[in-house]
Amino acid sequence: MSKLAFLFPGQASQYPGMGRDLAENFPESRAVFDEADAALGFSISKRCFEGSEEQLKLTENTQPAILTVSIAAYRALEKRGILPDYAAGHSLGEYSAMVAAGSLEFATAVKLVRGRGRYMQEAVPAGEGAMAAIMGMSPSDVAEICKKAAQGQVVSPANLNSPDQIAISGAAAAVKRAVEIASQSGAKRAVMLPVSAPFHCALMGAAQQRLEPDLRAATFAVLRFPVITNVDAEAVVSGEEARDALIRQVTAPVRWVESMRELVDAGVNIFVEVGPGKVLSGLLRQIDRSVRCFQAEDSASVQATLEKITAARAEATEA
């Protein structure tokens, strides 16, 4: 029996114009944008549809914008009877997964991530934090390089994205040192990333402290289907576990490779990236080429994915 998982993208998947096609073609998606605008008290839909790349890159805009587009795409699939057996979301995407699973109300989530974006942005003064991507090194080698580069500063693995790609995060000087050491130690590539803050490291402690009361005040219901969390790479189904995972996630690394392997081990062989971009589909190809991954970010890809899932399930039934 084939199982289906929905994957929800995080920051860096945004692009100008995202979501407009969904809103124009699906009333249930349009309703999500209207709900987001009402909850936030300004037009996030306008920022998605007409905003510049610069506007969308501001973390406090990026996070609610990606969440809104992801849930707009999810509602289009849900309306057509496609529901997953599991879900996972990359960093910010974990909020989309919790909304899809019915643990968090969408209006609550969109306000939470607006705050989360602002707290993360304000946790470290501009220019003092940085992130970099290191390609072609093992997690243990990257951890060792971070130790060497630290020299009393924070630098650590932040996103274990694929067997070939690990992002590191921390103080700008320490991250730069780590990039130099990685380049000299045989990394395929080591490059600084154009991000506005050092996500998923100890420097986000202040953001975590500010976000925790917001998350404690929010209502988390039992999940309709399990979500694999970034922080533990394990399935959660209770609202309390979901909340706890989102609190700890701010300063902890995203264990994406382990999360995807957990889903494959659970029997998932069809994945759908629900929301803007194709970042997670690309990472999944690096993790496991035996599974299929489709996209749902506009009306054409939603329609194509419906057809592909129907065909894949028919194949599985015949087999």
Looking at the annotation, which residues are catalytic?
91, 200
Which residues, 6+ apart, have CB-to-CB distance to 217 below 8 Å?
none
Burial class (CB within 10 angstroms; exposed 0-12, middle 13-18, buried 19+) of 117:
buried
CA distance 262 to 103: 21
Terminal CA-CA length for the chain: 9
CA distance 106 to 214: 15
Write out the two tokens for 50. Answer: 């007409």
